[in-house]
Amino acid sequence: MNWKRFSLPLLLLLSACDDSSSTSPQVQSSGTFDTAPQASVVSATSPVSTTPWYADRSPADTVSVQTPEPAKPDAAAIARQTAEVLKAQGLITRAGAVLADAGLEDEAFPLLAPEDHKVDDKTAYLSTAAAGLALETVDETPSSKRQMMKIGGKDVNFITRAGHLIAYAPKDPKDSNKKDAEAAIFYTYYARDGLPKDKRPVTFFFNGGPGSAAIWLQLGSWAPKRLKTDAPNIPPEFRATRPESFPLIDNDETLLDQSDLVFVNPPGTSLSEAILPHTNTDFWDMDRDAEVNNDFITRFINYYNRQSSPKYIYGESYSGIRVPIMAAKLEAAGTANYEPDPSGKPPIVLSGLVLHSPILNYQSSCAMSFDVSCNGILPTYAMTVDHYGKSQRGNRSVPAFLDAIRTFINHEYDVYFPMFPKNTDLYGGARAFAAAVLYPESELPEEAAQLVSSLKLLNNAGGIDSVVQFLLKTKEAPADTGWTAFVPTDIGAAFVKDLSAWTGISTDFLSATPNVGTRDFILNFLPGKAVNIYDTRMSAPGDGDRKIPYDMSFYEDTAFCNAITPHLADFANYTSVTEYKTITKGISIAWMYQRDPSVKYWKSSIVDLQTAIRDGNGLKVTIVGGYTDLVTPFHQTELDLAEAGLTERVPVKWFDGGHMTYLTEASRAPLKARLDEFYQAPPVADGLNAPQSVAATEALTPPLAGAAPSAVTFN
């Protein structure tokens, strides 16, 4: 807006059309605003001489005096003056918008942010499959609490909200008045209400599972407060029992400097529940999950009038599947389900995706199938071996070290893989057996191992060692594919020796089992230790069976669970009679991965990611993660992107750390710097394979021509 053209008398005339008499949609007190009145010209003209320049005058008579123009007020002064007039007319939200548009955040915030409001939620929320709420029990009024923190050395005002919004299905083209309430979605929202919405991004965060609440991202990553876990360090007192708490500290790396933050919990997690006649299980499949989450985003946009805001989705783990599906569907819908924006500013559908430690294709993971190549996990093994001081990295930098193992994979491992004995990793078989135990009364799907995808569920199922022993005794000997004859040759022996150097596993074991799965790696490289599969740097001595009193992979769970309820009460003014559900195991059991009826267990988001980029009008995408994450190995992501032709279009960056990379203190600042660069970058040039503005900083060694990784399959 050009404030130098603002006419105060015109404003006084226009202000007679106040909110009470307007028939347009009313502005919400949550921070929504209308466009401030357009300005007109205010000018002053100095007196001018009427004597022609050519008049017969003596030099003494030619002296002229010009009256100086009065000083014009600057934009800030005009905005303040305008805001005062609007406030006098009772147009508080408009006054705040004028100040926000002028960059006067501190003055706009008190006018745009709601007052503190406590919510004591008496509704009981259920996470079971058949659960559903009555619509009349859902109250969408959020709690709110005004806050202040230092960001970049400056005091910044923001507000925390928590509560439920109803996710409505898209409008029925046959009946525009019909509204299908699908689910009450619980969310926490951190916002700098003093900034103009059309210039202020909003980011929606989703954890994974499937079945996980957003607690890990909310309390661990980029919100204004975080728990300091100090990964990978494990104090001696926590080797026998999980820590009950971690320090809750101000987050110096909060993303609140770049974006408003919304942490979202899908139905059946946290305090979210379906609305009858829908039940939670209605949304426990790949497409319905994405759709109901999108319907929440649409409801959020309409409720808070964020139509014109740049929009980002940040997904972790399983959300590497979820978020690309969401993105493709959001772009297909466009703004069809947006309500009119009172500001009149142009709407934005989607600006960017951040995928943190994502799984993009379950079928390319050797942890999910007997016979898939483990080439994607070898660099994670190598970085784990290096962490424990047993690698041959020497003085090489990490990028040089990783380039070397990528070359080994491309030129040797992938070449010899067709000869490897199959069915060597028993972990997938153990999962299939566990699925049979978990489904005693129902028909077991043919590919049970594909169904049981939650490692947390499996580890808590118990008896896994006895399952492995059962499989060891009953598995059939694999057919000889030439491996037995290859191993004794000079080339074969050299390959096994190199593989041993990369993995830290003996040549004797590798001669029989070269395609090393995660369980085989942990048992053979770190015998006698309990290891965190989400961050292999974290381990503790165990007994003869590597057992300790708790599962090391979930070291931080108790502390996070203990922190979330008081955090919501203290920091968001929200309390509930229902226990916050951090992870719902039943979701991962009941989850349906089948999308296309002609394709069984099509568990990939690669095509959706390609579609989102193609249709996204410059959609930015980046991927980040940790070197020592066995659950979603970083090189497998590289291979999946390469197979899809997205290596150049989707830059990746890896850091010291595991699955939740942000728990590693030393990686927080560089990871935040990467995200800053991403948010500040312009949209990408159109085209699926156009290079992205944020350059990939981790160079990839391309696969051999004609030798694409056999692990990546698309059904």
pLDDT in tens, 460-485: 333 444 444 444 444 445 566 789 99
- State whether 462 and 572 are in the same domain: no
Interval 625-640: pLDDT, tens: 999 999 999 999 999 9
- State whether 77 and 130 are in the same domain: no
Which residue shows structure tokens 């915030």? Answer: 109
Q: What is the Cα–Cα distance from 412 to 481, expressed in whole angstroms?
A: 17
Q: Residue 509 pLDDT more than 60?
A: yes
Residue 603 has a pLDDT of 84
Prediction pTM value: 0.81
* Mean pLDDT, range 279-291, rounded to an integer: 96
Residue 593 has a pLDDT of 81
Residue 372 has a pLDDT of 87
Percent of the chain at pLDDT > 90 equals: 64
Q: What is the Cα–Cα distance from 568 to 702, expressed in whole angstroms?
A: 47
Structure tokens at 354: 């951040």
Structure tokens at 587: 């979701």
Domain count, the chain: 3
Among 231-240, 448-457, 617-626, which stretch is predicted with the lowest mean pLDDT? 448-457
Residue 74 has a pLDDT of 87
Mean pLDDT over the full length of the chain: 81
- State whether 300 and 440 are in the same domain: no
- State whether 393 and 454 are in the same domain: yes
Q: Residue 67 pLDDT more than 90?
A: no
- State whether 293 and 389 are in the same domain: no
CA trace torsion 203, 204, 205, 209 (10° rounding): -150
Examine residue 538 and state whether it is found in any structural domain, yes or no: no
CA trace torsion 562, 564, 566, 568 (10° rounding): -170
Q: Residue 161 pLDDT more than 50?
A: yes
**Between these two residues, 452 and 379, which has the higher pLDDT value?**
379
Output the CA torsion sign for 656, 658, 659, 665: negative
Contact between 262 and 204 (Cβ < 8 Å): yes
**Between these two residues, 600 and 552, which has the higher pLDDT value?**
552
Last residue of a domain, one of 506, 527, 545: 506
Contact between 627 and 537 (Cβ < 8 Å): no
The band of 425, judged by pLDDT with boundaries at 50, 70 and 90, is very low
Contact between 261 and 203 (Cβ < 8 Å): yes
**Between these two residues, 18 and 563, which has the higher pLDDT value?**
563
The band of 600, judged by pLDDT with boundaries at 50, 70 and 90, is low
Q: What is the Cα–Cα distance from 454 to 442, expressed in whole angstroms?
A: 19
- State whether 392 and 274 are in the same domain: no
- State whether 393 and 330 are in the same domain: no
Q: Residue 70 pLDDT more than 90?
A: no
Interval 361-370: pLDDT, tens: 988 888 766 6
- State whether 154 and 81 are in the same domain: no
Q: Please give the residue range of the domain that contains residue 17.
A: 3-54+65-94
> Residue type for 634, please?
F
Residue 366 has a pLDDT of 84
Examine residue 524 and state whether it is found in any structural domain, yes or no: no
Examine residue 600 and state whether it is found in any structural domain, yes or no: yes
Structure tokens at 104: 């006067």
- State whether 389 and 432 are in the same domain: yes
* Mean pLDDT, range 607-620, rounded to an integer: 94
Examine residue 684 and state whether it is found in any structural domain, yes or no: no
Residue 381 has a pLDDT of 97
Examine residue 540 and state whether it is found in any structural domain, yes or no: no
* Mean pLDDT, range 59-72, rounded to an integer: 52
Beta-strand relationship, 225-227 and 248-250: antiparallel
Residue 189 has a pLDDT of 99
Among 84-88, 215-219, 385-389, which stretch is predicted with the lowest mean pLDDT? 84-88
* Mean pLDDT, range 687-711, rounded to an integer: 35
Which residue shows structure tokens 């070397």? Answer: 404
Residue 370 has a pLDDT of 61
Examine residue 690 and state whether it is found in any structural domain, yes or no: no
- State whether 187 and 325 are in the same domain: yes
The band of 60, judged by pLDDT with boundaries at 50, 70 and 90, is very low
Q: What is the Cα–Cα distance from 452 to 317, expressed in whole angstroms?
A: 15
Residue 711 has a pLDDT of 29
Residue 173 has a pLDDT of 73
Domain with residue 169: its CATH number is 3.40.50.1820
- State whether 230 and 379 are in the same domain: no
- State whether 336 and 398 are in the same domain: no
Residue 116 has a pLDDT of 97
Residue 446 has a pLDDT of 38
Name, of 171-180, 195-204, 552-561, the range with top average pLDDT: 195-204
